[in-house]
Amino acid sequence: MSSDFTPAKRGDLVAIVTTERAFYIGQPSTERTRVELAIVRSVSREGVVKAVRYAWDSSPVGKNALPDRGQRTLVIGQDRIDVEAAMAMARAHTWPGHSTVKPFDSIAEATAALRPYLRTSAHATPARPAAITDVPVTGFAELAGVLDQHAADCGWVVERSDRLQEIADGDLRLTPRLRAAIEAAATACALAADTVTLLPGALRADLDV
C-alpha cells in the first residue's frame, strides 16, 4: 500500500470520482468525469472505503453502496470539514427544475463547492501541499498512490485559479492586456488541475491498478 494512502473513518466525507468515455454519433469520443459526495459507512481494518451512503439517497434508513472498482474515492476527514453541512449542500445541488441530485462535473467544481464547509477560515491562504517527489515509485501501485495525491492536491491550484479570476473581475483599473493575461493564467490553472485529476483514472483504465 502506498505511503500516500490516507485511511478513512466511518463518518468521513468521500468524493466518488467516476471517469467515463462518452460516444456521440458523428463526433469523436470525449472523457467525462462525474463526482458524487457520500458519507463513509464502512471501512476495512486498513481504512479502505468499503461502503458509503450517497447524497442522493434520501431514504430514512439509507442503503450502503459499495464503490465500483473503476471509481476513485477521495476522502476528506470529518476533522477537516463539516460533513453534515457539506452533504446538505450536495443534496441541494440538483438538476435545474428537478429535485434529483446532480453530480459535480469535475473535481475542481466539487472542491469549490466544498470550500465553505472546511474547518478553516474561508479567507485563509491555502498552504502549498508538501512535495511528494521523494516518494519512491517502484511499481504501478506506488504510481497510483502518487497520482491520487497529486489529484487531491489540485485543490490548491484551483484556489489560485479562483483568486486570479477574482482579481480580473474586480474593481482595479487594469489595462485590457493585463486583465487578459490574468484571465489566461486563471484558465491555465483550472485546466491544469482538471488535467491532473484525470491521470489516476487513465492509469486504472489502462492497467487495472
Res. 124: pLDDT tops 70: no
pLDDT: which is higher, 22 or 184 = 184
pLDDT: which is higher, 25 or 62 = 25
> Do residue 99 and residue 171 come from a single domain?
no
> Do residue 59 and residue 148 come from a single domain?
no
Res. 136: pLDDT tops 70: no
Contact 15, 54 (CB under 8 A): no
pLDDT: which is higher, 185 or 104 = 104
> Do residue 164 and residue 101 come from a single domain?
no
Q: Evaluate whether residue 163 is within a structural domain.
A: yes
Closest CA to 190 of 168, 166, 148, 159: 159
Q: HSE of 99 in the Cβ direction (CA atoms, 13 Å)?
A: 2
> Do residue 17 and residue 75 come from a single domain?
yes
How many other C-beta atoms can be found within 10 angstroms of the C-beta atom of residue 185?
Answer: 16
In terms of residues, how long is the chain?
209
Last residue of a domain, one of 79, 102, 117: 117
Per the structure block, which three cell numbers stand in for 5? 494512502
> Do residue 20 and residue 109 come from a single domain?
yes
* Summary mean pLDDT of the chain: 77
Q: What is the pLDDT of residue 107?
A: 85
Alpha carbon dihedral 85, 193, 206, 45, in 10-degree steps, equals -40
Per the structure block, which three cell numbers stand in for 157? 491550484
Mean pLDDT in residue range 146-154: 71
Domain count, the chain: 2
Q: What is the pLDDT of residue 122?
A: 42
> Do residue 111 and residue 169 come from a single domain?
no
Contact 16, 52 (CB under 8 A): yes
Residue 134's pLDDT band (boundaries 50, 70, 90)?
low
Q: Evaluate whether residue 2 is within a structural domain.
A: no
Residue 39's pLDDT band (boundaries 50, 70, 90)?
very high
Q: Evaluate whether residue 156 is within a structural domain.
A: yes
Q: What is the pLDDT of residue 2?
A: 32
Look up the pTM and report it. 0.54
Q: Evaluate whether residue 134 is within a structural domain.
A: no
Q: What is the pLDDT of residue 120?
A: 62
pLDDT: which is higher, 178 or 69 = 178
Mean pLDDT in residue range 146-168: 73
Backbone φ and ψ for 126, nearest 5 degrees, come out as -65, 140
Res. 40: pLDDT tops 70: yes
What pLDDT digit, counting tens, does each position of 87-119 carry? 999 999 999 888 899 999 888 888 888 988 888
Q: Evaluate whether residue 135 is within a structural domain.
A: no
pLDDT: which is higher, 3 or 200 = 200
pLDDT: which is higher, 184 or 3 = 184
Contact 62, 53 (CB under 8 A): yes
Find the domain containing 167 and state its range: 140-207
Contact 203, 209 (CB under 8 A): yes
Last residue of a domain, one of 83, 102, 117: 117
Alpha carbon dihedral 137, 139, 145, 150, in 10-degree steps, equals 50
> Do residue 157 and residue 94 come from a single domain?
no
Q: Evaluate whether residue 75 is within a structural domain.
A: yes
Res. 143: pLDDT tops 90: no
Q: What is the pLDDT of residue 102?
A: 93
Q: Evaluate whether residue 127 is within a structural domain.
A: no
Last residue of a domain, one of 117, 132, 153: 117
> Do residue 84 and residue 148 come from a single domain?
no
